[in-house]
């Protein structure tokens, strides 16, 4: 489990002087042309407004859902299930997980303070790039401080922060890898929740994953995001 820290005139006045005998006809023709052009302009205006509305609607769906919480609070599990649910609803979605990122793109990074900052910075930029190319991103990262979350928001831009609220005791019960136990024994240094702090978000959608099921949590997230 990663511990991440970061402590974008067209004038129609057509003058067709062909003699007095044609003046009435010319005036009639000009009026007719004017009306046609006004009608065309009106149609184009409507089409432009419709297109803009469509684009705005499209772009509003391209954002990042950033899941923050203690280690073992369920960010990865809920992220995968949330992705599946959104795909079934017809959305274009990708899931970005801290552990997977460190196995590939960020395998060069350690768990030092500087590398944790860089790990999170890269994740935020990746999320923004995916958003700009038409995808919703679900990002599962601890992101333990409000300063970190602020920096992530600055990079991503269109983001919804979701805090998976779960007590330390419950997270330890869910820890199948035994990371908390190792941290308590001093085998893992700087482990969030043990010897590294976790701050509850100042601004976020709060989902109490300790007191409700995954299905209930997903439904609550979707309702908060107005996606259902």
pLDDT digits (tens, 9 = 90+) for 51-81: 344 334 444 568 999 999 999 999 999 999 9
Nearest to 76 by CA among 99, 105, 110: 99
Q: How far apart are CA 78 and CA 174, in angstroms?
A: 14
Residue 226 is predicted with a pLDDT of 77
Q: What is the pLDDT of residue 41?
A: 45
Enter the tokens of residue 139.
């990002």
DSSP 7-19: -------------
**Average pLDDT along the chain:** 79
**DSSP SS3 for 174:** helix
pLDDT at 114: 84
Contact present, 93 and 133 (Cβ < 8 Å): no
> What pLDDT is recorded for position 53?
42
Q: What is the pLDDT of residue 33?
A: 52
- Mean pLDDT over residues 44-50, rounded? 48
Confidence of residue 99 (pLDDT cuts 50, 70, 90): confident
In this prediction, residue 137 has a pLDDT band, given cuts at 50, 70 and 90, of: very high
- Written as six digits, the tokens of 140 are 């599962």
As a whole number, mean pLDDT of residues 186-207 equals 92
Can you tell me the distance from the alpha carbon of 119 to that of 20, in angstroms, rounded to the nearest whole number?
81
Q: What average pLDDT does range 12-26 have in this prediction?
A: 38
Q: Which two tokens stand for residue 17?
A: 């002087």
> pTM of this prediction?
0.72
**Among 94-108, 112-126, 167-181, which range has the highest average pLDDT?**
167-181
Give the strand pairing for 205-208 and 93-97: unpaired
pLDDT of residue 60: 55
Cβ-contact 192, 198 below 8 angstroms: yes
Helical residues (DSSP H) of 157-192, grouped into ranges: 168-174, 179-184
Q: Is the pLDDT of residue 40 over 70?
A: no
- Residue 190 is predicted with a pLDDT of 87
Nearest to 163, CA basis, from 67, 75, 63: 67
Q: Sorting pLDDT into bands at 50, 70 and 90, what band is 111?
A: confident
């Amino acid at each position: 489990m990663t511990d991440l820290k970061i402590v974008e005139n067209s004038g129609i006045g057509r003058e067709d002087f062909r003699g007095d005998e044609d003046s009435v006809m010319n005036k009639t023709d000009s009026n007719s042309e004017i009306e046609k052009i006004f009608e065309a302009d009106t149609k184009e205006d409507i089409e432009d407004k419709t297109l803009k509305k469509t684009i705005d609607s499209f772009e509003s769906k391209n954002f990042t859902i950033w899941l923050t919480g203690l280690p073992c609070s369920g960010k990865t599990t809920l992220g995968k299930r949330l992705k599946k649910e959104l795909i079934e609803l017809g959305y274009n979605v990708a899931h970005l997980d801290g552990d997977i990122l460190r196995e590939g793109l960020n395998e060069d990074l350690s768990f030092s303070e500087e590398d944790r900052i860089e790990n999170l910075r890269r994740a935020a930029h990746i999320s923004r790039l995916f958003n700009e190319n038409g995808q919703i991103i679900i990002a599962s990262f601890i992101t333990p401080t409000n300063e970190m979350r602020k920096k992530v928001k600055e990079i991503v831009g269109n983001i919804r922060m979701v805090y998976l609220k779960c007590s330390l005791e419950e997270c330890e019960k869910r820890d199948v890898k035994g990371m908390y136990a190792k941290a308590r024994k001093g085998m893992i240094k700087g482990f969030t929740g043990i010897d590294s702090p976790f701050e509850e978000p100042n601004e976020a959608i709060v989902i109490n994953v300790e007191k409700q099921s995954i299905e209930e949590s997903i439904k609550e997230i979707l309702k908060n995001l107005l996606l259902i």
